[in-house]
Amino acid sequence: MNQGEKVYKTMGSAGAVTLALGIIVMVTGLVSGVLLIINGAKLLIRKGDVII
């Protein structure tokens, strides 16, 4: 295997890993954002129940 083939295979592996990590981060961020919005909405709805 020559140097060009090694670089080609390394770039392919790195590209696949980067793509997979990007998808995981995007999904995690999206889920976290949705959960934060839901939690914030619940807090705003229930703030009237607080006795001062």
pLDDT averages per 10-residue partition of the chain, 52 residues: 89 94 97 97 91 75
* Residue 15 to residue 17: CA distance in whole angstroms: 6
Helices (H), the chain: 3-46
* Residue 20 to residue 15: CA distance in whole angstroms: 9
pTM (global) more than 0.95: no
Q: Per the structure block, which two tokens stand in for 32?
A: 């976290």
* Residue 52 to residue 50: CA distance in whole angstroms: 6
Domain-by-domain residue ranges, the chain? 3-49
Place of tokens 């009237």: 48
